[in-house]
């Protein structure tokens, strides 16, 4: 059953139900900063690390995806359970640490009991003790250890209390390996009898009554005579307390989960989220903008005239800065979503939209991948592994590219800035919120149509169910949320940065050559600014980019755009955010302007169609571009992940074909429809 272990160090595997504090414990033991969220589906990949050296303990640590039992119910659970018995690279663990939420101990102990019955050497880490303390209860680790026959320790994930205790237990268990040898698992539960599983639950209810105690009493201080006299009263009191919902959570949910008001608050929170992204981030964008403009101007002055100066200032600095100027907005997006995650509200969002999603062939479990799509479609598609029903999983993956990911945010920010007055950023926030809501509605409509008319796409049985654990509301820990937000923003930069740099260089080459030193008639009669603009225009008109763009110009003309926009749209198939840097390069934003973003906007407002002489960018064409980016799938990495998660090229091919056609069709309707109504 067990493959050879590829490491000489002992392997410690962390397992536990979703939202049981497993990743928090992993972070404490390893010193890593992996993101911890409070809904199922956030962890679909393994994380490995060494235990911190300060604990004087040599061991490998493996954090596995959350599971509720050893009876897998979804693809990610099946992989988790299989790897727990026999990891493809690391073999079986020497020690298992299972996390158990103290506030719902019977249900979470089910996994721990199965692990004990399987024969794993293990430690139970009882977490969320602060939630149990709200009910004036605690868990007797001594009694629980005696009942299950393994070590038990209480952990407070918010303060770190109990970490030293679990380190001592780990050391003791690892030391015993040399004498006892590795204890290998002896049974699985893939074909367990229903009555046996019900019997385990019944046994755990009895264990719960034994191990829960009033907070103001310790097991060693209990007077047995008095306890026996009050036994009939005491046990029902404890049972009532553990089953009683958290009062604060109950009062808040009365409004946020209301049948009507709940949806109102949901859309209000979402609107406030995206308005804040535009409004709060605006001054910080100005600082980043000014920095890159100064850097480009300094590089141009230092390097002098010539292609090297132009390459560094306009190709590298301006191209990269045109995207990084929107980093504050991306950071704000991750920050607000992090706060919503930490409070426990996102699980409520899944519950609220379960009913409408069920009408189109999905359920509330699709909410988490769809919401993750606002950050990036790649982890969002991977998060869909938690959806047990294959049909719903494929349908969720299919519509995720319609979610407006963070890569689109720089594009939207630039296009919205063209439409609104500079002194009223709150209007931009409302427009942005409308765009995100429209993308959600569009994805739901697409899901409904495919679910009803294209059964061949989703070759799977429809046996859906939706059960979701609602965590108690908790006050967010600002430092953790900020740290996670910066980590997410860092990942965005490291993922998008190299792509942006490469395509900025490619686009610079296409727009600079072959006529890199054009001859300008009457150059001596022009001032420095006029001469620079004339050189730029002449160079661009005879460039490789112009040759490429004019090939596709017949496709761009019906939607009111020219070859320059077409080249930028082609570039976005590597990454959507490249559109901004390509616009800066193709419209030749110079390094000596006051601000990069304002320079791009100035160039866009003055750009004219070479054939008609009319303004190229108008409210109608800008709105058309926004519509195009809402629908178009312009990310090669997304297609690759879609292929991996669906198991064939059938769905990725349909995604890129259908969404591109829809993007072009709706852009055509939007631009020409607005012009027909009198909007320029």
- Span 603-644, pLDDT tens digits: 888 888 777 778 888 999 999 999 999 998 767 777 777 887
Separation between Cα atoms, residue 561 and residue 627, nearest integer Å? 14
Side-chain-side CA neighbours of 158 within 13 Å: the count stands at: 10
Q: What is the pLDDT of residue 204?
A: 81
Q: For residue 658, is pLDDT > 80? A: yes
User: To the nearest whole number, what is the mean pLDDT of the chain?
Assistant: 75
Chain-centre distance of CA 262, in angstroms? 24
- The C-alpha atoms of residue 245 and residue 134 are separated, in whole angstroms, by 10
More confident residue, 51 or 620: 620
Mean pLDDT of the 82-91 span: 73
Q: 0.85 cut: is pTM over it?
A: no
pLDDT above 80 (res 670): yes
Q: Are 549 and 571 in contact (CB under 8 A)?
A: no
Q: Would you give the end-to-end CA distance of the chain in angstroms?
A: 70
Give per-residue burial for 4-25: e unless 16+ CB within 10 Å, then b: ebeeeebbbbbbbbbbbbbbbb
The three-point CA angle 376-377-381 to 5° equals: 130
Q: Cβ of 600: how many Cβ atoms within 10 Å?
A: 23
Hey, which residues does 324 pair with through a beta bridge?
Answer: none
Q: Residue 224 has what pLDDT?
A: 42
For the residues 367-391, what does the mean pLDDT come to?
Answer: 72
Q: For 480-511, what is each residue's pLDDT tens digit?
A: 778 777 777 776 677 666 766 777 777 778 77
Q: How many CB atoms lie within 10 A of CB 483?
A: 14
Q: What is the pLDDT of residue 477?
A: 74
Overall average pLDDT of the 222-250 stretch: 53
pLDDT score for 307: 79
- Under 8 Å between Cβ of 515 and 542: yes
DSSP 219: G
Residue bearing tokens 């047995």: 224
Q: Does residue 655 register a pLDDT over 80?
A: yes
Domains of the chain in start order, with CATH, are 11-242 (3.40.50.300), 245-680 (no CATH)
């Amino acid at each position: 059953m067990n493959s050879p272990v590829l490491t000489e160090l002992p392997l410690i595997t962390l397992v536990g139900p979703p939202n049981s504090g497993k990743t928090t414990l992993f972070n404490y033991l390893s010193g890593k900063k992996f993101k911890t969220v409070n809904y199922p589906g956030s962890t679909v990949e393994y994380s490995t690390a060494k235990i911190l050296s300060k604990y004087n303990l040599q061991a490998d640590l493996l954090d596995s995806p959350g599971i509720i039992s050893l009876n897998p119910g979804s693809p990610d659970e099946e992989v988790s359970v299989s790897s727990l018995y026999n990891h493809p690279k690391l073999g079986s663990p020497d020690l298992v640490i299972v996390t158990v939420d103290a506030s719902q101990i019977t249900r979470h102990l089910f996994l721990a009991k199965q692990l004990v019955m399987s024969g794993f050497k293990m430690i139970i880490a009882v977490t969320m003790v602060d939630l149990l303390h709200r009910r004036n209860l605690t868990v007797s680790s001594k009694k629980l250890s005696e009942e299950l026959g393994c070590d038990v320790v209480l952990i407070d994930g918010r303060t770190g209390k109990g970490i030293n205790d679990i380190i001592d237990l780990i050391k003791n268990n690892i030391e015993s390996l040399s004498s006892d040898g590795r204890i290998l698992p002896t049974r699985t539960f893939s074909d367990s009898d229903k009555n046996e599983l019900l019997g385990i639950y019944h046994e755990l209810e009895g264990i719960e009554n034994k191990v829960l105690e009033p907070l103001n009493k310790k097991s060693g201080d209990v007077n047995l005579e008095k306890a026996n006299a009050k036994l009939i009263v005491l046990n029902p009191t404890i049972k009532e307390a553990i089953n009683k919902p958290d009062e604060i959570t109950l009062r808040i949910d009365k409004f946020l989960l209301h049948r009507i008001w709940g949806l109102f608050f949901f859309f209000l929170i979402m609107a406030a989220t995206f308005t804040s992204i535009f409004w709060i981030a605006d001054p910080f964008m100005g600082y980043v903008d000014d920095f890159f403009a100064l850097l480009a101007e300094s590089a141009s002055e230092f390097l002098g005239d010539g292609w090297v100066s132009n390459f560094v200032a306009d190709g590298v600095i301006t191209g990269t800065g045109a995207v990084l100027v929107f980093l504050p907005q991306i950071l704000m997006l991750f920050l607000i979503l992090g706060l919503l995650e930490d409070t426990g509200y996102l699980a409520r969002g899944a519950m609220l939209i379960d009913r409408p999603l069920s009408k189109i062939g999905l359920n509330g479990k699709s909410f988490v991948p769809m919401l993750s799509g606002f950050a990036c479609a790649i982890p969002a598609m991977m998060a869909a592994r938690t959806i047990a029903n294959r049909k719903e999983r494929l349908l969720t993956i299919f519509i995720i590219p319609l979610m407006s990911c963070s890569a689109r945010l720089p594009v939207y920010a630039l296009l919205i800035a063209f439409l609104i007055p500079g002194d009223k950023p709150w209007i931009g926030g409302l427009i942005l919120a409308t765009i995100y809501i429209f993308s959600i509605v569009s994805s739901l409509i697409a899901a409904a149509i495919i679910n009803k008319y294209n059964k061949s796409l989703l070759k799977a049985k429809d046996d859906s169910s939706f059960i979701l654990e609602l965590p108690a509301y908790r006050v967010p820990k600002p430092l953790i949320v900020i740290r996670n937000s910066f980590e997410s923003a860092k990942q965005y930069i490291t993922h998008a940065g190299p792509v942006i740099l490469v395509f900025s260089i490619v686009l610079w080459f296409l727009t600079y050559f072959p006529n890199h030193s054009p001859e300008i008639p009457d150059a001596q009669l022009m001032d420095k600014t006029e001469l620079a603009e004339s050189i730029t225009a002449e160079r661009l008109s005879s460039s490789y980019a112009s040759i490429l763009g004019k090939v596709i110009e017949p496709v761009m003309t019906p939607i009111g755009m020219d070859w320059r926009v077409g080249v930028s749209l082609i570039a976005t198939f590597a990454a959507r955010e490249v559109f901004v840097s390509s616009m800066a390069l193709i419209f030749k934003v110079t390094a000596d302007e006051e601000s990069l973003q304002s320079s791009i906007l100035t160039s866009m407002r003055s750009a004219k169609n070479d054939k008609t002489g009319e303004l190229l960018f108008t409210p109608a064409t800008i709105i058309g571009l926004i519509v195009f980016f809402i629908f178009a799938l312009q990310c090669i990495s997304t297609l690759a992940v879609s292929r991996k998660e669906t198991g064939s090229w059938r769905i990725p091919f349909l995604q890129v074909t259908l969404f591109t056609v829809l993007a072009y069709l709706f852009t055509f309707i939007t631009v020409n429809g607005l012009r027909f109504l009198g909007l320029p």
